Amino acid sequence: MTPTQPFSNRNRALLILLGILLLQMSVPSADRDSLSLSASFYTPEEVKYNFWQPVKQIFASTAERTADLRASLLPALPAARTFKIVSVTSKKATSSKIWPVKGAISSAFGMRRHPVTQRRSFHNGIDIKAHKGTSIISPADGIVVCAAHAGLLGRLVKVRTGDGKTLYFGHMNQIKCVKGQRVKRGTLLGTVGRSGRATGPHLHFSVLAGGRYIDPTKYLAAR
């Protein structure tokens, strides 16, 4: 396309879609600042190509940004010379927590049939299925209050958070922290395993708050 060619509504729409798709390809993160993108295009007499330089800069800076996007098209009147065509915004995630391991939930919080005993019992956390050796990280800042073998839960790490909750990470293959260690959100705690009573490699994750266990999925940020 040359500067003398008409810049049609179809071309403007294609550029909008391109911007959205490229931003959606970025890696999500929970705590990135929001960003916005706007550009001006002109009628056939002069089409500005300097649009692409700010686009490249923004795309370069959006690595590991959340891909929760909004796009809006401002109306372009046929008689107008300048067209403000698009604003693409990556919204900052509202939660400061992250999931301790990547994987699917294989057993939910609440009553269930135990996979080993086959008896119905209360499951005080969630099981997240993952390959042996997968990294387990802390969802929040806190202090390690336990890092040891603990019977049925196998190799166990407990983290006490600043708001008084205790996070349990069970069935680890390896423990990568020590009791008394202060950890930050994202600190490596250990790796996924099947120590203790487990049918396969996974992470058992529980949240103790005010003396009772709560649903960890409500504590963590939505995936």
- What is the structure's pLDDT at 185? 93
- What is the structure's pLDDT at 76? 39
**Helix runs in the chain, H state only:** 9-24, 52-61, 216-219
With a threshold of 0.85, does the pTM exceed it? Answer: no
Q: Which residue in the block uniquely carries the two structure tokens 């042996």?
A: 132
Exposure b/e, 150-169, CB count within 10 A at least 16 = b: beebbbbbbbebeeebbbbb
C-alpha–C-alpha distance, residues 213 and 19, integer Å: 43
Per DSSP, the three-state class of 49 is coil
Q: In sequence order, what are the residues at sequence separation of 6 or more whose Cβ sits closer than 8 angstroms to the Cβ of residue 211? A: none
Q: Which residue in the block uniquely carries the two structure tokens 């890696």?
A: 27
Q: In sequence order, what are the residues at sequence separation of 6 or more whose Cβ sits closer than 8 angstroms to the Cβ of residue 214? A: 207, 208
- Whether 89 has a pLDDT exceeding 50, the answer reads no
What tokens does 131 get?
Answer: 């390959």
Query: Could you give the residue range(s) of every CATH 2.70.70.10 domain in the chain?
Result: 104-219
Query: Which superfamily, per CATH, for 104-219?
Result: Glucose Permease (Domain IIA) (2.70.70.10)
List, for residues 157-216, the tens digit of each pLDDT value.
999 999 999 999 999 999 999 999 999 999 999 999 999 989 899 999 999 999 999 999
- What is the structure's pLDDT at 128? 96
Exposure b/e, 40-79, CB count within 10 A at least 16 = b: ebeeeeebeeebeeebeebeeebeebbeebeeeeeebeee
Q: Best-predicted range by mean pLDDT among 21-30, 82-91, 149-158?
A: 149-158
- What is the structure's pLDDT at 12? 60
C-alpha–C-alpha distance, residues 69 and 21, integer Å: 10
C-alpha–C-alpha distance, residues 206 and 165, integer Å: 10
Quick one: pLDDT band at residue 110, thresholds 50, 70, 90? confident
C-alpha–C-alpha distance, residues 101 and 90, integer Å: 24
List, for residues 91-104, the tens digit of each pLDDT value.
343 445 789 998 99
